[in-house]
Structure 1
Amino acid sequence: MEQAKPRPDLPDRLSIDPRSPHHVAAVFEHDVGIRFNGKEREDVEEYCISEGWIRVPAGKTVDRRGQPLMIKLKGKVEAFYKE
């Protein structure tokens, strides 16, 4: 049988953008889920558990470089590994 890789601890702040200083590639080798105010969200680009916010795209709006515009939502944030 194949041994599963040990999962690294989820950081307090994490971003899916590889250009961000808060991007941790080892975490993304596993499926990460975000629960925001009790509901699971699939569109989270960045989160911070201690400050209680997530960043999500603002619809289909993009900036001049083609990156989606982000809005910050505040509330209770929980990060977890999906099975």
Structure 2
Amino acid sequence: MSESPSTRPDLPDRLSADPRSPHHVAAVFEHDVGIRFNGKERHDVEEYCVSEGWIKVPAGKTLDRRGKPLLITLKGKVEPFYP
């Protein structure tokens, strides 16, 4: 599937994979989104913020009381991109 970059929406400063979050943008998730964190690609990112420099990732198989993965925050350089 080769799309021109102009058909993809701009990646926001903060994005969440959770549809209930106010930072969830459904139009972005119609395309693949990659996250480079401290120079390495991550495939387990649930939420990120470029300006504040953090990502949220699941903490192993631990679940919260609602059955969602328990997330931990990692700080560093965040670079979202379209592969």
**TM-score when scaled to structure 1?**
0.93
Larger radius of gyration: 1
- Separation (CA, whole Å) in 1 of partners of 2:34 and 2:3: 19
Segments of structure 2 that go 5 or more residues without pairing to the other structure are none
- Separation (CA, whole Å) in 1 of partners of 2:8 and 2:32: 10
- Separation (CA, whole Å) in 2 of partners of 1:77 and 1:52: 6
**TM-score when scaled to structure 2?**
0.93
Q: Deviations over 1:52-77 (max 9, x none)?
A: 00000000000111011000000000
- Counterpart of 1:49 in structure 2 is 50
Segments of structure 1 that go 5 or more residues without pairing to the other structure are none
- Partner SS for 2:27: helix
Q: Is residue 2:17 matched to residue 1:16?
A: yes
Q: 1:40 to 1:65 in 2, by over 3 A?
A: same
Q: Where does structure 1 differ by over 4 angstroms across 4 or more consecutive aligned residues?
A: none
- Identity %, equivalent residues: 82
- Partner SS for 2:19: coil
Structure 1 residue 4 displacement after superposition: 3.9
- Separation (CA, whole Å) in 2 of partners of 1:4 and 1:79: 18
Tell me how large the CA RMSD over aligned residues is. Answer: 1.3
